[in-house]
Amino acid sequence: MATSTSRPGRSLITLLVVIVLLFGIMALTRTWKPKLGLDLRGGTTITLTAKTIDGTGKVTADQLNEAKNIIGQRVNGAGVAESDITTSGSNIINVAVPGATKESLVSQVGQTALLYFRIVYSAQSLAPAPTPTTTPKPGTTPTPSATPKPSTKVTPSATIKPTGTPKGRAWTSALGQATPTPTPKASTTPKPSTPPATPSTPAASTDPLKYTPDAATQARFAAFKCADKDKQSDDPKQPLFSCDKSGQNKYLLGPAIMAGTDLSDASAGIPQNGLQWQVNLKFTGPGGDKFLKATTAISQRGQGNNLFAIVLDGVTISTPSVDNPIPGGQAQITGTFTESDARDLANVLKYGSLPVKFEISSVDTVSPQLGGDQLSAGIWAGIAGLALVVIFCFLYYRGLGLVVVLSLLAAGLLTGSLVILLGKAIGFTLTLAGIAGLIVAVGITADSFIIYFERLRDEVREGRSLRSSVETGWARAKHTIIAADSISLLAAIVLYVLAIGSVRGFAFTLGLTTLIDLVVVFLFTKPVVTLLARTDFFGHGHKLSGLDPEHLGVERLPGQTKPSARPRRTPSSRKPVGGEV
Amino acid sequence: MSKLGQIGARLHRGEVSYDFIGHRKFWFSLSAVLVIVSLAGLFARGLALGIEFRGGVEYEANVKVTNSTVDDFTNTVKATNAKGLGDPVVTTINNQKVRVQTKPLDQTDIGRVRDAIGKEAGIPAEQVTSQQIGASWGKQIADKAVLALIVFLVLVFAVIWLYFREAKASAAAIIALVHDVTITVGVYALVGFDVTPATVIGVLTILGYSLYDTVVVYDKVRENTRGITGSNRFTYSDATNLAVNQTVVRSINTTVTALLPVGAILVVGTVVLGTGPLKDLSLALFVGIAIGAYSSIFIAPSLLAVFKEREPAMQALSKRVAAKKVQAAKAAAAPAEPATAGAPADAAARSVVQDAPRKADRATGSAPAASTRPMKAAAAGRPQPTRKPRSKRGK
């Protein structure tokens, strides 16, 4: 910091430029308020912990991201505006929903996302008229829709590897679990007017491939609207009424023939010599066997009826057709895909290949009133804390207290603008814990001044002149300040990286203010002290400057020539003070 | 205040001092007792874990508290017949809020209980604040906190080692740190304060604070002990003791300025909000910062000195200094004025700085080393103050 020793003005101008620049950006982007956390303005914060279905193994970053997307769709589907979904750590998803929310959102958001393959028994386009007028017969030819998805087709892999050794055991045992549940859940009957018959009696067979919808199910399907989709659960053993994402096609689907766990991988790409995007599927060993069996059954259903649906969260993602049985554990879904269509589908499949369940870890609902109370409490605490520190510094350091006030002001300007701008730039939200971090940081910032001032006084006590003490004291104090601040920063970083919930906001503001403290001490406090030491008031140790001899406990300030004086009586040549000291 | 300034100056010059290192046995014993009491309290009473660690649902609603408030709300909540409700715990906060805690409920019941509480309090259900915590969430938080603690300790050990080039400094700082955390947690166990995630953040932050103080003291120790083996004026302990004395005013000041804002959060958080993260966080910080200041003055430097004095070079230095002092005492005693000579040899060996001649004029700024300087027979055979400023005397 050679410049700050010799040219205090330069440092001060640098800092001024930085502050002006920050406020300039704020003016340009018209952001004057920080982004407040929901604990300060009311709303619901849901923390979900993602786990693999069987509870073992780790959730991968890809899966967590895909899970985040899926939850985003659920929240948006519930019609909530301004929701904010973030991941933290290796398995935590935070959902922030401002305003009052219903409990149903919480359970909806926390559902396990499962991917199933189901046979399509009936498809209907709702695009022209949302209310279907005719009851479709079983096996109705699916109405081609405007969306490109129905035109997809599953084709056997070009590189068929006979690795899919038939493992009949896995096949039957997997399906053996599909014990029939004759009575449907209440939630699966969207219309209470429907006779409480048992529509989905699994026709004496546990094999989903042999399922055929009965008349009652058909009738309920006819009455089903996409808006009702939340009223049924995605039970793999039951048939499902499902819509695609656009809500323009509805499907009557059989029980699940395969689950996402049967997939080992999925990817999107353009095959060699090909032009169209396609999605490549790879099955696990048992999954490949199931797929062979399923495709065998589906392909026998004949053109137009040979569709199966890929369903995630009860929403039909894709309905490819199958012409031939597909052995070998690999397949492609081809069709008129755009690149993003193909990637989306691949992601969904990949995510489903190792499904993740969510545990509701915490749900915090803060009423707007309490939020406002907490905000004002935080602000009052901040003002009170700041005032106390300033009063203390004035009492103890007298005139140097002015330096403390100005430095805290500079730090405040930097902190305020950065918090506001970071809210805009990286979505940093100021929470109650964050405010606490800012207040605690006032103490840390003041600590740096105290280290410097005490050092400065020590130098004077050792017999240096005030001006040289300002420099030598700084040379020593700055190492201490850097070391001490590094420790604070280290604590903040560890807290941030290993953070959960509100810890992050606290750690972030603590780290940010520690950095700002370093900047302010180097670019502001030290230069200001250098400049003040050149003034009469401070440089000659006025009684109120905090650098007067009495205050320092020395006879007189070293290095000052006092032609006239009895040193004991006149601590300052300019302002003689009467009486005993 | 200016009195404090004068004390600071005298401390700095070593005219007055407290023999921190010499009295270390007392302070170590005190700390040992505190740690044992803390551990005993922790194991006997345990911590009062907040709902965040136990799992369950907590509601808060603004309501004018009357004598029957607790009973009214207990009955209201029980009347919902929610599954697994258990015995709801109803408490009032600051005469203006009611808090209801239940066991974990399922989603629909959470809504029903909330509606019931809103009705009883006469406010819309949206005004009822609730917090719902899964059973395993608390364990996750606790696990992460322990992980953060371990990672932090390892990193700090490395950083202090790198900065001071002294593993012993790291070891002493870490021991002091563990001491601080143990006592803080012990205070929580003994007083029965609620432990919430905010408390955990507070405790983890203390680590940074406590070290901050310790690093500043060590920095001074390093400065005072630079090239110490080249002379035979001070032992390592003497130099450390001087360093603690020289930084004690600063330690007090930084602790006060740290406690002032934290105290403000504590008061505002308690008075305005009653409970919540502000109160929990600041309480932990308040307790921890106070203990951290104590340990960085009384424990960490003494530990460092004890560790360093085991080094052969330092032991040799101690012997030389002791011999020197005996010699000096003899030299002082010889010219027939034993009474005014001041220090008995053993006391001098323990603390150099205490024995700085009191007669010396304050203005002359007698150096800490005054009594141990080689004493060529001067006027009265006593060390004579020099009139040069300290900076000119060389160090």
Reduce the secondary structure of B312-337 to three states and give it as a string: HHHHHHHHHHHHHHHHHHHHHHCCCC
- pLDDT value at position B346? 47
pLDDT band at residue A354 using 50, 70 and 90 as cut-offs? low
Pairs of CB atoms within 8 A across A/B? 267
Averaged pLDDT, A136-155: 50
CB contacts, 8 Å: B260 with chain A: 385, 388-389, 392, 443
The ipTM value here is 0.74
What would the two tokens of residue A547 be?
Answer: 């650098």
Please answer yes or no on whether B62 and A480 come within 8 Å at the CB atom: no
Euclidean distance between CA atoms A441 and A574, whole angstroms: 39
Per DSSP, A307 falls in state B
Q: Give the least confident one: A225-234, A306-315, A343-352, B194-203.
A: A225-234
Question: Smallest CA–CA separation between A320 and chain B, in Å?
Answer: 37
Rounded to an integer, what is the distance from CA B100 to the centroid of its chain? 36
- Looking at residue A230, what is its pLDDT? 61
Chosen for mutation from B98, B129, B224 (greatest number of chain A CBs closer than 10 Å) is B129
User: What would the pLDDT profile of A452-478 be if each residue is shown by its tens digit?
Assistant: 888 888 888 877 888 888 888 898 888
Chain B residues near residue A457 by CB distance under 8 angstroms: 5, 8-9
- Structure confidence at residue B186 (pLDDT): 92
* Average pLDDT estimate for B72-96: 82
pLDDT tens digits, A500-548: 666 778 888 989 999 999 999 999 998 988 888 888 777 776 777 767 7
Query: Among A179-183, A447-451, B82-86, which is the least confidently predicted range?
Result: A179-183
Question: What would the mean pLDDT of B171-198 be, rounded to a whole number?
Answer: 88
Q: What is the mean pLDDT of residues A124-152?
A: 50
Q: Do A443 and B151 touch (CB under 8 A)?
A: no
Task: Show which of residues 386-405 on chain A sit within 8 Å of chain B, judged by CB atoms.
Answer: 386, 388-389, 392-393, 395-396
Contact A480 B197 (CB under 8 A): no
Q: Taking CB atoms and an 8 Å limit, are B144 and A500 in contact across chains?
A: yes
Handedness of CA A520, A523, A524, A526 (dihedral sign): positive
Task: Using the predicted structure, report yes or no on whether residue B40 has a pLDDT greater than 90.
Answer: yes
Query: Residue A179 in contact with residue A165, Cβ under 8 Å?
Result: no
Contacts of A291 (CB under 8 A, 6+ apart): A258, A262, A283, A326, A329, A331
Distance from CA of B140 to the nearest CA of A (A): 9
Scanning every residue of chain B, which has its alpha carbon at the shortest distance from the alpha carbon of A552? B5
- The residues near B176 (Cβ < 8 Å, ≥ 6 apart) are B210, B214, B295, B296, B299, B300, B303
Q: What are B287's strand-pairing partners?
A: none
For the cut 80, the answer to whether the pLDDT of residue A107 exceeds it is: no
- Six token digits for residue A381: 């605490």
Contact flag B131-A433 (C-beta cutoff 8 Å) = no
Cα dihedral A340, A342, A345, A346 sign: negative
- C-alpha of B185 from chain center: 12
| Residues in Cβ contact with B157 at an 8 Å cutoff, skipping those fewer than 6 apart | B170, B171, B174
Instruction: Please enumerate in sequence order all residues whose Cβ is within 8 A of that of A565, keeping only pairs 6 or more positions apart, or say none.
Output: A573, A576
Residue B1 has pLDDT above 60, yes or no: no
Q: What is the DSSP string of A243-298?
A: EETTSSEEEEEEEEEEEGGGEEEEEEE--TT--SEEEEEEE-HHHHHHHHHHHHHH
Chain A residue at shortest CA distance from B200: A503
Is A380's CB within 8 Å of B272's CB?
A: yes
Cβ distance B278 to A378 less than 8 Å, yes or no, reads yes
Q: Which long-range contacts (CB under 8 A, 24 or more apart) does A57-60 make?
A: A57/A354, A58/A90, A58/A91, A59/A90, A59/A91, A59/A356, A60/A354
* Longest CA–CA separation in chain B, Å: 97
What average pLDDT score do residues A12-24 get? 91
Closest CA in chain A for residue B209 = A488
- Chain B positions touching A510 (Cβ under 8 A) are 205, 208
pTM: 0.70
Is A568 a residue whose pLDDT tops 80?
Answer: no
- Kindly report the nearest CA distance between residue B335 and chain A, in angstroms: 33
A190-228 pLDDT, tens digit per residue, is 444 444 444 444 444 567 777 777 888 888 888 887 777
Evaluate if residue A108 carries a pLDDT over 90.
no
Q: What is the pLDDT of residue A555?
A: 63
A362 vs chain B: nearest CA distance in angstroms? 4
Residue A209 DSSP label: G
Q: What one-letter code names the amino acid at B191?
A: V
Output the six-digit token pair for B367. 């150096």
Q: How far is B277 from chain A (nearest CA, A)?
A: 7
Q: Dump the DSSP string for A139-151.
A: TPPPPP-SSSGGG
User: Both tokens of residue A23?
Assistant: 């406020």
Distance CA A457, CA A463 (A): 10
Please provide the average confidence, as pLDDT, over all residues in chain A. Answer: 75
Share the mean pLDDT of chain B.
78
CB-nearest partner of A385 from B12, B140, B260: B260
Instruction: Average the pLDDT over A312-332 and give the result.
Output: 82
pLDDT at B5 (0 to 100): 62
DSSP string over A510-551: HHHHHHHHHHHIIIIIHHHHHHHHTSHHHHTT-TTTT--HHH
- For B203-230, what is the mean pLDDT? 82
Residues from chain B contacting residue A89 (CB–CB below 8 Å): 144
